[in-house]
Amino acid sequence: MSSTDPVADDTDVTPRGPFEPAGVEWTRVSDRLVPVRLLLTALWLGLPALVCAVLAVLLTPWLWIPVAVLVVPLVWALLVIPRQVRALGYAERDDDLLIVKGILFRQLVVVPYGRMQFVDVNAGPLARRFGIATVQLHTAAASSDAEIPGLAPQEAERLRDRLTARGEAKLAGL
């Protein structure tokens, strides 16, 4: 059985494209990221849609238009979010960290350890409730910052310490 998902099939060592480098073993993020993203999407799109629906019933039927405008992306997001989370992964190599994400628009971010300025671990109230955290990598250029969401707190702490140590080692070599 062949898979196009680099995170799902990491045993093959032959390169299959720019998003699947040879010999890379991908680590998936936690599935607990799915309910966090679903809840946030429901709050941002579902709650205003519900308010507009109530007002449409009470005030004017014209408010069904914003309800439709909000419900369509809500349903789309609810269908896509689990697959998006399954597509998230990272891999530690000797000289850099790889982060892969995206389904339709795929992205592979390569962060050299020597370019890292510092590493953050963040967890908002909802993320803490679901037991996940985000590791954020900061480089000298703000546009090249990267993050890995949906990590277990122990894994986030381990990754932060490991990336910091590797970054210091690479900087010391200059």
The model carries a pTM of 0.79
Query: What pLDDT is stored for residue 3 in this prediction?
Result: 45
Side chain identity at residue 139, one-letter code:
T
Residue ranges, the chain, pLDDT below 70: 1-16, 172-174
- pLDDT at position 13 is 53
| pLDDT tens figures, 28-38 | 999 999 999 99
* Tens digit of each residue's pLDDT (9 = 90 or more) over 27-75: 999 999 999 999 999 999 999 999 999 999 999 999 999 999 999 999 9
